[in-house]
Structure 1
Amino acid sequence: MLAENQPYSPISVFADEPMVMTRIYDAEVNLAVWNRSLARQVVDYAELLCQQSVALQLRSIVEPASTTQHLIDGLPDKTGRLDFVKDVAGLVEMFADLFELERVGIRLSIIDNTMCPRFHTDHLPCRLVTSYAGAATQWLPEATVDRSKLGAGAAGLPDHLSGIYCDPAMIQQLNTGDVALLKGDGWHGNSGYGIVHRSPAINIDEKRLLLTLDFAE
């Protein structure tokens, strides 16, 4: 809890245990990251998905209990599918339990371009993000951000020219496999302080396998 009249400067927290996710309820936390390593079978299946010619775009609203079957029905039957599905389903269950949700919005996508290249905030309460393959999400620590350069304040300039940050070394990036909760402007009491983040730039021959989970209530 922030002391009365204390300047608000959101922080990020990190741990190698999933319990760090509960810190998103702390008023001063706008990014909670579970640093983890993916099982070899999960990595191999993710890479197989990225190698297929048909782009994967799986988007739906699910109940946690039905997630496993939903994913099995929607994903190619290749070696490691069950391990991958169990991992995703576990994240859906964790997300639903943490926020007491009966349904979760799930999006699992293979991305071959820079999806959200500009630093921005989300106008929603909270989103879970993890990359199973390829480069992961980037963000700016609060002390390094000039929020007046968000959106229209950038005057159409790209991030490296807009002044939203003054040194590219300030840009932080998740690791592949990390699970992050990104608090948005829609979280109660957090308007104007959502975590500032963007998609990483990727080369023409690269692909990302990205999972995002959202409130569906």
Structure 2
Amino acid sequence: MMNKKNLNIASEWRHEGYMFRHMSQDKQPTVLSDIYKEEINIAIWRREKQFSVKEFLALNPTFQKEMILTPQDALSRISESFDNNMTEVSEDIALLVDMFCYLFELKQVGMRLKVLDRAMCPKFHVDKVPCRLVTTYQGMATEWLPHEVVDQTKLGWGCNGLPDSESGLYQSEIDIQQLDCGDVALIKGTLWEGNENAGLVHRSPGLIANEKRLILTLDFM
């Protein structure tokens, strides 16, 4: 629910012709193409899919890989990085690389796959990229804020050193949204043409003690 302050801001922005950005979500992967709509800054493919990675995380607690992949070599190179284990995850990553390249007409992508035991980016922020694909194979998934509840002046240095919960960036903890483990999200950043001040505000989730998280990101190259 929007408070009085946010309602006033919304009224002013609508009067000035400002367009709020919104979420698009569906259980079908075709929803990801909605990221091309000007008013959408996050498109979410809601997947009821679980991956068996706990044993791998236990044996490889510091695993991380960064590679430039093409749709043609993704499966073989990812499988090799897993020593030909984790077949299900390797095949899924290769599928997402292929989808990402097809959707954005790219020949290659930058892939990052990391095991984390703490929040990688604990403060809310926007990405200085055109668009990023994010999915979590194990653990808590990415948190984000709806565009209309964010006070953009409180991002970065604007927080004056205060925690996000005290800076005025958002008004209530119930404003915070979260992806589910397994969901695939396209997150629009500030380098997307026409989206300079409307990148999705998001952060890494806090993790409980001894919890491991396996996260994949794909970026333009």
Q: TM-score, normalised by structure 1?
A: 0.92
Aligned to 1:206: 211
Distance 1:87 1:160 in 2: 36
Look up the SS of the partner of 1:60 in the other structure: strand
User: Between Structure 1 and Structure 2, how many residues are aligned?
Assistant: 208
Aligned to 1:56: 63
Structure 1 residues 60, 53: closer, same or farther in 2, change over 3 A?
A: closer
User: How much has 1:76 moved relative to structure 2?
Assistant: 3.8
Over the matched positions of the two proteins, sequence identity in percent amounts to 43
User: How much has 1:96 moved relative to structure 2?
Assistant: 0.4
Distance 2:48 2:77 in 1: 25
| Cα distance per residue 1:97-126 (max 9 Å; x no partner) | 000000110011101111101000011100
Aligned to 1:121: 126
User: How much has 1:82 moved relative to structure 2?
Assistant: 1.8
2:80 maps to a residue whose letter is: D
Range 13-22 or range 202-211, more displaced: 202-211
Aligned to 1:36: 47
Aligned to 1:82: 87
Distance 1:113 1:176 in 2: 16
Unaligned residue ranges in structure 2 (runs of 5+): 1-15
Look up the SS of the partner of 2:72 in the other structure: helix
Unaligned residue ranges in structure 1 (runs of 5+): none
**Aligned residue among 15, 18, 21 for 2:26:** 15
1:185 maps to a residue whose letter is: T
1:11 maps to a residue whose letter is: H
Q: What are the residue-to-residue correspondences of 1:1-217 with 2, within 5 Å?
A: 6-39=17-50, 43-44=51-52, 46-78=53-85, 81-216=86-221
Look up the SS of the partner of 1:64 in the other structure: coil
Distance 2:54 2:101 in 1: 27
Distance 1:204 1:83 in 2: 27
Contact 2:61 2:115 in 1 (8 A): no
Q: Kindly report structure 1 stretches of 4+ aligned residues shifted beyond 3 Å.
A: none
Aligned to 2:10: none
Distance 1:84 1:153 in 2: 39
User: How much has 1:6 moved relative to structure 2?
Assistant: 3.0
User: How much has 1:48 moved relative to structure 2?
Assistant: 2.0
Distance 1:128 1:197 in 2: 13
Distance 1:59 1:173 in 2: 25
